């Protein structure tokens, strides 16, 4: 699933480790939304539809998720020293 960042709207990213599904310790999925709740909802749908996760597994993975404003990831100031 590919999502585009929409300019002028608050954006949130939700990062979910999926090691328990794939066996790869460094694998994670990322979803985006205009709110933290929407980003989590996108992640829930992705886990259920693309990874075939059952409801309990989705809940467990979402509890491990990190949701935060995407500006923290894209800010030019965060890369300058």
Strand 66-69 and strand 28-33: pairing?
unpaired
Question: Residue 78 in 3-state DSSP?
Answer: helix
Quote the pTM value. 0.73
Task: Tell me the backbone φ, ψ of residue 29, rounded to 5 degrees.
Answer: -115, 155
* 81 pLDDT more than 60: no
Pick the range with the lowest mean pLDDT from 1-10, 13-22, 29-38, 47-56.
1-10
**Looking at residues 64-80, what average pLDDT do you find?**
68
Residue of 78 and 56 predicted with greater confidence:
56
Question: Which residues are registered as beta bridge partners of 57?
Answer: none
């Amino acid at each position: 699933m590919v999502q585009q960042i929409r300019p002028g709207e608050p954006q949130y990213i939700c990062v979910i480790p999926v090691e328990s599904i794939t066996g790869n310790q460094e694998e994670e999925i990322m979803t985006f939304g205009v709110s933290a709740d929407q980003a989590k909802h996108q992640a829930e749908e992705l886990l259920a539809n693309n990874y075939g996760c059952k409801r309990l597994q989705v809940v467990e993975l979402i509890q491990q998720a990190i949701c935060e404003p995407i500006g923290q990831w894209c800010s030019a100031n965060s890369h300058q020293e």
